[in-house]
A and B are shown apart, each in its own frame.
Chain A
Amino acid sequence: MFARKFLISFPIFATMFVVQEAIVNQFRILGGGLSLFLIFTLLWAALSSPELGAVTGFGAGLLMDLSQTTSSPMGQWTLIMILAGFSIAYLGYGDNNFRGNPISLVIIVAIAVPLTRLVYLVIGLMLGGELGSGLQVGISLLSSALWAVAIVPLLMPIVTRVHGALFQEASRG
């Protein structure tokens, strides 16, 4: 069932990945922290069950690891995204009041995006990466949260509908 659900959503994630790599990365956006793909993945995971959130994180993390601009070891994003996808899905699982409230979703994704990037940075440091300017990192993390606040309300109507249509259909079938 999971493999099937995962395969159903894979083309959507692949498209979002291409949009991120080919279009969003063309821009030097204010603060430098806009990752549409990360926001989309975490929002998708927030609407899923914990297992599906983890599988979603696994697939999305693999794609992020395949990005040519990722300098970290293959698997680092995968590991972090599994944990992020599982955690964000687990937080509101079974609570329809939480999931049905758009403001909760915006807040949880806006917190999860910089937190995920911070964990990536910390694990990167543990694997021998470089930190650079602390101020720049702080600005980047803050801006990623602000961008998430701006982008999630725009993505939410589409993501909730597509997610609902796919998985309700899948669970019926």
Chain B
Amino acid sequence: MRSGGDNRGRLLLISLIVTSLFLITLDLRGVAVIGSLRSGSQSALSPVQSAAATIFRPVGNFFTDVTRLGRTRGEIERLKEANESLRNSLINRKNADAELKELKSVLDLAGSAKYKVVSAKVISLGSASSFTQTISIDAGTNMGVRKNMTVISGLGLVGVVKISYPNHALVQLTTDPAFRVGARVAGTQQVGILSGQGTSKGVLQLLDNQATLKVRDVILARGSQNNRPFVPGVPIGEVTSVDNAAGAVTQTADVKLYANFSALSVVAVVVGAPEVDPRDALVPRAPAPKPVPTVTIYATPSESPKP
């Protein structure tokens, strides 16, 4: 290159850069060919991803468990005892039962609000290099899944359908830094905007500067016009800390998201919203306090010894 090939090398580099800039321009201008290229590549990859998910998901779950070991040691110990008695009967159906359980919880949630849903299996997690938080699901336009539909799990809001292909769809997760959802506080009905942060927590910013938030306030989706992209009433998370900075125009708070994004296997896409807003019907119930048995002991002094 350096001995006589310099010009050719430069020309090649410039041509490649111009080509890439041309592609960026075409995409930003919304040229359909670019979209169909991605759609075509995804259609080709989708069967391979489905097969790989079946084979490698148990391995992935194993690694997820390992990385969470320190945080969940106590929980694991408790679950170990419960699992011991069920191990023999569950050993061959563990995976299927876990998915069934997740499906049941998501259908319970959808049923409570009278959402019409399409359940789907997660076939791939998002890209590791692009700083985006997405999943691919095995339901697409053939099953009525369209762009900008709400995606939920049994615990609450998972995200929104970003792109829908015939047999699968790409879902932007609530944790994605670009994710925004109109939210309201259960009970007080204060409204705000919740944004993803790339972690299991989101940040809620209230719109009203007179409104105040409390720790443990439950945050629900406010709903969008024509119920897309968000249907109303879906639980999003719970306030864990409130920022009371003196100079802030409105209050902000950290919200722990309900959905467990590291263990998503079955989700549901809301394809039909209820006619009536479910309001606070989907707020998770607080755990009922267990009665603690009390024992009263009456002490009777023994007879004092006689001298």
Interface residues of A (CB under 8 A from B): 2, 18, 20-30, 32-35, 37-38, 49-51, 54-55, 57-58, 61, 64-76, 78-79, 82-83, 86, 93-94, 117, 120-121, 124, 127, 129-133, 136-137, 140, 144
* Structural contact, B129 and A71, CB atoms closer than 8 A: no
> Chain B at the A interface: mostly helix, strand, loop or mixed?
helix
Interface residues of B in 12-54 (CB under 8 A from A): 12-13, 16-17, 19-28, 34, 37-38, 41-42, 45, 48-49, 51-53
Kindly list chain A residues whose C-beta atoms are within 8 Å of the C-beta of B13: 50-51, 54, 82, 86
Q: Is the CB of B198 within 8 A of A68?
A: no
20 example contacts (A-B, Cβ-Cβ < 8 A) are as follows A25-B49, A26-B56, A27-B63, A27-B64, A28-B262, A29-B63, A34-B128, A51-B1, A51-B5, A66-B37, A67-B41, A68-B170, A70-B127, A74-B23, A74-B26, A75-B27, A83-B17, A120-B129, A130-B177, A132-B131
Contact partner, A82, options B17, B178, B196, Cβ 8 Å: B17
Q: Would B24 and A136 count as touching, CB distance under 8 A?
A: no
In the complex, the answer to whether A136 meets B52 with C-beta atoms within 8 Å is: no
Contacting residues, chain A, for B129 (C-beta < 8 A):
33, 35, 37-38, 64, 117, 120, 144
Which residues of B are found within 8 Å of A137, using beta-carbon distances?
131, 198
Q: Establish whether residues B48 and A18, one from each chain, have CB atoms under 8 Å apart when the complex forms.
A: yes
A67 contacts B127, CB within 8 Å? yes
Instruction: Give 18 A-B pairs besides A27-B56, A32-B128, A72-B130 with Cβ atoms closer than 8 angstroms.
Output: A23-B56, A26-B52, A26-B53, A26-B125, A27-B63, A27-B125, A51-B1, A68-B163, A68-B170, A74-B24, A74-B26, A75-B22, A75-B27, A78-B19, A79-B17, A82-B17, A132-B178, A133-B197
